[in-house]
Amino acid sequence: MRVFGFCLPTSSPLPLAVTFWPMFYEPNGMGGYREGEYRDPAWKTHKVQWAEFLADYYLSYDSLYAFASWSPDFEVLKRLHDQGRLGRFNLGYYDACGQARQRSTSGARAPSA
C-alpha cells in the first residue's frame, strides 16, 4: 500500500457555527425540564483550555444565542487568531429590523431602521 503525504489544516475549511456555553438541565417536577446557565462559574477559570479543546476539533469558542453573562471573550479570540485557529464567531445580537431601538444586555444599541 502506498500512502501519499497530506496535511490537515489548522482551522476548519467549513464556516461552522456552533454554541459552547455550559448549561444545566434538570427535572422541573412536572414531567419536563428547566434549563439555565451553569451555576458554578469555576469552569471559566479553564476557559483557555476549553477554547483549545474546541479548536482541536475545528469548533469556535462562541455562542449562537444570547445569555445574560455572555459576551465575546476577546482574550480567547485573540489567542486563537494568533495560533491561526480562529473560526467564525458572533460579536453581538440585534433585534429584528424595523423594531424600536432598545438597549441590549451588553449595552450596545441596535441600529434603527
Rounded CA separation 24/40 (Å): 10
pTM for this structure?
A: 0.64
> CA 50 to CA 101: how far, in whole Å?
35
The mean pLDDT of 2-31, rounded to a whole number, is: 82
Q: pLDDT digits over 17-67, tens only?
A: 778 878 888 898 898 888 887 778 888 899 999 999 999 888 888 887 777
Strand, coil or helix: what is 80? helix
Ordered alpha helix ranges (H), 39-88: 47-56, 74-82
CA distances to 5, 44, 102, 103 from 94, rounded to whole Å, are 46, 26, 9, 9
Tell me what pLDDT residue 104 has.
Answer: 47
**pLDDT tens string 62-113:** 887 777 777 788 999 999 999 988 888 887 766 565 555 554 444 444 444 4
Say how far residue 14 (Cα) sits from the centre of its chain: 16
